[in-house]
């Protein structure tokens, strides 16, 4: 199909009349023939450019892979592509989950949406269909600059360039200062555009006024500045996103604004707000204080949004904000990298962030641009507004100079981080992509790091130390200038854990043969790893209880306990506190009890449980390879208990579909302690305890008429 017809076909699919100026600029010249980097503001229509190349690639009988940094973004892109492309007869898949799976079913799909880590793990599992790929789209490619995500993204891109060198790469980026450097590294055409479908006016508020550049401002009431801006927004019948730096600030401001917002709500929306309030409240069977706080906010048209919320609650807030029912969201910066959620007005209240060892500093200009990119809804607004909150006229001038008039920073490679280098060095050797120290260094010479810095002396020294460690730990062997992984080294790479973490696990497994092991042995082991960071902070008032806990449980702890004066001791204490939190969960503490005692919100708890499950699975796999059958039983038992959050006595019951920790405890306390007890009890008696529907389901499962829910064997339900 000719290029013009491809463009027209996509416009028809999205019901668009014509390309916008950025898209016209992008699709000129050799857009369909070579690598391309598009550097343009948020909401400028970059994804549509990807659609043109995706359709071209499918028509060439090749696959397209769309890489995103977050699961939430992956879900959003998947839903969009599925809706549009399945009408054309093409198959769309999403792959974001199990990092120890090759997902062979993906071979049958035309478009694959994947997170960076998942695609990296697929390469480690040597998926054969990768050679059939004709297009790689890297969304948010400027995240090469991110310390946590950047190294994996950089290695992944470098790897893909080598494995499938003829595959076209399309990098989509926010406006960055050194986009030319990124394009040159990728041997790509560069498209730079400042086009936005909705004009953005950036301003500063202070002294009961909002000042904009390029248009008139507003007089505000004498309320607190953030409240006065919200009042002004609602008077215009518009919505507002407010960015703050912490979860606590987000919750407090959302609560503080409820009285104001409630007065501005149309009566017709009260019933709908009651309904979504109840949905947020009863996301969990037993609502936490956070659930109650969120429900109270939603009832009045406001919401807070942060990583401590459950996924269902975040999606509910986002959906109702898009519908116009929720008027104000107060969010932490995580929302700026999340799903597409525009508003007429974006307010940045906190422009400084605390950095450990440095103090409070301005957030990056690039991050500010991500925030303000949310302002203006193409289908509703002729323009959008962003507002910085200043304390004084002098502060307003500083904010204007630094953010509004400032340029986004250069993106810089973060590949020199040792943990990332360790993981990827082992992966490259394991996949046999490199077979000697020479070819390993040649690979790193092709990275963005090498391109930017020109010389490799620092990274070469790190790699040599890493190779020495991997040899010492038994993960690789070096013979006759050749590098190869051992059986256990290959498995460590597939498990997607830091080799240092795997080495620690192996040491602890050997120690377990000499110790009186129980659930705590493995909980503390996984809690003292980089993968479980950030650790829970230990307050001074808690140290006595933690010391007592260590004394009581010392015989079960597998690692050597540091001395109090050792640098490692603080992190060890934090690992104990984190293990104590998991133990409370095993002992059937509610989400609200954990929130009160450990200050871990339900959303964060779910994320930590997923991490814990992955790490326990890794210990299990290593124990299998080491032939440590005696240890396996305890590892598997704690993994299942952690999965359901129950004492050991409830394990037979929770494996039944529709029987969670609360119902299992009810059954047990009613004398129904085993599957045999459930077989014998009359359905009428069982219905009194768990309800008729659940009772019928249980009886059907026991009689083999209804299959047990296999998904309950993992934490994917979270």
DSSP state of 108: G
Structure tokens at 25: 């600029």
In whole angstroms, what is the distance from residue 90 CA to residue 56 CA? 12
- 276-287 exposure pattern, b = at least 16 Cβ within 10 A, e = fewer: bbeebbebbeeb
In whole angstroms, what is the distance from residue 118 CA to residue 111 CA? 15
In whole angstroms, what is the distance from residue 592 CA to residue 599 CA? 9
Residues with Cβ within 8 Å of 104's Cβ and at least 6 positions away in sequence, in order, are 127
DSSP state of 556: G
pLDDT average per 10 residues of sequence, the chain (718 residues): 90 92 93 95 90 96 95 92 93 91 93 96 93 96 92 96 96 90 96 92 95 93 96 96 95 97 90 94 92 97 95 94 95 80 92 81 91 87 94 94 92 91 95 93 95 87 95 95 95 96 96 91 96 93 93 93 91 96 96 95 95 96 92 93 95 92 94 94 94 93 71 37
Domains and CATH numbers, the chain: 3-192 (3.40.50.300), 199-404 (3.40.50.300), 418-481 (1.10.10.10), 499-645 (1.10.3380.30), 649-713 (1.10.150.20)
Q: Can you give the pLDDT at residue 707?
A: 61
Give the CA distances from residue 213 to residues 202, 204, 289, 420, in Å, rounded to whole numbers and listed in that order. 6, 9, 43, 43
388 in helix, strand or coil? strand
Angle, vertex CA 651, rays to CA 648 and CA 652, nearest 5: 135
In whole angstroms, what is the distance from residue 210 CA to residue 203 CA? 7
Taking a C-beta distance cutoff of 8 angstroms, is the pair 498, 473 a contact?
A: no
CA atoms within 13 A on the CB side of 19: 20
In whole angstroms, what is the distance from residue 118 CA to residue 617 CA? 17
**DSSP per-residue letters across 97-135:** S-TT---GGGGG-SEEEEEHHHHHHHHHTT-GGGGGEEE
Structure tokens at 347: 């307010």
Backbone angles phi, psi at 627, to 5 degrees: 70, 30
- Within 10 angstroms of residue 117's Cβ, the number of other Cβ atoms is 17
In whole angstroms, what is the distance from residue 611 CA to residue 421 CA? 21
For 150-168, the three-class secondary structure string (H helix, E strand, C coil) is HHHHHHHHHHHHHHCCCCE
Q: Can you give the pLDDT at residue 335?
A: 81
Q: Are strands 218-219 and 209-212 parallel, antiparallel or unpaired?
A: antiparallel
Taking a C-beta distance cutoff of 8 angstroms, is the pair 173, 142 a contact?
A: yes
């Amino acid at each position: 199909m000719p290029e013009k017809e491809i463009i027209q076909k996509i416009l028809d699919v999205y019901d668009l009349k014509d390309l916008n100026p950025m898209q016209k600029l992008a699709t000129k010249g050799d857009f369909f023939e070579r690598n391309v980097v598009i550097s343009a503001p948020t909401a400028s229509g970059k994804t549509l450019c990807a659609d043109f190349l995706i359709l071209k690639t499918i028509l060439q009988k090749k696959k397209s892979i769309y890489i995103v940094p977050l699961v939430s973004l992956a879900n959003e892109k998947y839903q969009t592509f599925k809706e549009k492309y399945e009408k054309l007869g093409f198959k769309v898949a999403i792959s974001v989950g199990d990092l120890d799976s090759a997902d062979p079913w993906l071979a049958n799909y035309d478009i694959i949406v994947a997170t960076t880590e998942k695609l990296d793990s697929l390469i480690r599992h040597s998926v054969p269909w990768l050679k059939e790929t004709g297009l790689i789209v890297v969304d948010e490619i400027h995240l090469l600059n991110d310390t946590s995500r950047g190294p994996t993204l950089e290695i992944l891109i470098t790897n893909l360039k080598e494995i499938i060198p003829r595959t076209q790469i399309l990098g989509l980026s926010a406006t960055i200062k050194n986009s030319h450097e990124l394009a040159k590294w990728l041997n790509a055409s560069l498209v730079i555009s400042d086009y936005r479908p909705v004009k953005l006016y950036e301003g500063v508020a202070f002294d009961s006024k909002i000042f904009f550049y390029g248009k008139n401002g507003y007089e505000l009431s004498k309320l607190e500045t953030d409240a006065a801006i919200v009042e002004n927004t609602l008077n215009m019948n518009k919505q507002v996103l407010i960015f703050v730096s912490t979860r606590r600030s987000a919750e407090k401001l959302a609560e503080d604004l409820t009285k104001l917002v409630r007065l501005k709500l149309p009566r017709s929306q009260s019933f709908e707000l009651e309904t979504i309030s109840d949905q947020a409240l009863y996301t969990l069977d037993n609502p936490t204080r956070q659930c109650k706080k969120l429900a109270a906010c939603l009832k009045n048209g406001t919401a807070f949004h942060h990583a401590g919320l459950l996924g269902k609650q975040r999606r509910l807030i986002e959906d109702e904000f898009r519908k116009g029912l929720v008027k104000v969201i107060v969010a932490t910066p995580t929302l700026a990298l999340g799903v597409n959620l525009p508003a007429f007005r974006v307010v940045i209240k906190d422009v400084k962030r605390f950095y450990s060892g440095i103090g409070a500093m301005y957030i990056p200009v690039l991050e500010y641009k991500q925030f303000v990119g949310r302002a203006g809804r193409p289908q509703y607004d002729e323009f959008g507004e962003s507002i910085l909150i200043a304390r004084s006229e002098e502060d307003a001038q500083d904010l204007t100079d630094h953010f509004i008039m400032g340029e986004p920073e250069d993106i810089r490679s973060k590949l020199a981080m040792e943990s990332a280098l360790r993981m990827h060095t082992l992966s490259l050797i394991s996949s046999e992509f490199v077979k000697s120290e020479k070819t390993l260094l040649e690979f790193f010479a092709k990275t963005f790091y090498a391109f930017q810095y020109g010389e490799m002396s620092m990274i070469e020294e790190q790699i040599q130390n890493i190779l020495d460690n991997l040899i010492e730990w038994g993960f690789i062997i070096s013979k006759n200038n050749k590098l190869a992984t051992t059986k256990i080294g290959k498995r460590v790479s597939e498990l997607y854990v830091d080799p240092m973490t795997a080495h620690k696990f192996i040491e602890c497994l050997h120690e377990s043969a000499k110790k009186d092991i129980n659930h705590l042995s493995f909980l503390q082991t996984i809690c003292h790893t980089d993968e479980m960071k950030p650790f829970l902070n230990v307050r001074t008032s808690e140290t006595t209880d933690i010391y007592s806990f260590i004394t009581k449980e010392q015989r079960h702890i597998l690692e050597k306990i540091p001395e109090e004066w050792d640098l490692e001791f603080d992190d060890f204490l934090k690992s104990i506190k984190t293990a104590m939190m998991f133990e409370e969960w095993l002992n059937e503490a509610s989400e609200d009890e954990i929130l009160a005692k450990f200050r871990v919100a339900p959303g964060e708890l779910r994320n930590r449980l997923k991490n814990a499950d992955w790490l326990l699975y890794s210990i299990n796999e290593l124990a299998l390879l080491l032939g440590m059958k005696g240890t396996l039983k305890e590892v598997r038992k704690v993994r299942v208990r952690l999965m359901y959050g129950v004492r050991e006595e409830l394990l037979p019951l929770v494996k039944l579909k529709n029987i969670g920790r609360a119902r299992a405890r009810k059954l047990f306390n009613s004398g129904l302690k085993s599957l045999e007890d459930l077989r014998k009890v009359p359905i009428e008696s069982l219905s009194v305890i768990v309800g008729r529907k659940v009772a019928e389901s249980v009886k059907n499962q026991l009689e083999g008429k209804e299959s047990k829910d296999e998904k309950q064997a993992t934490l994917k339900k979270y």
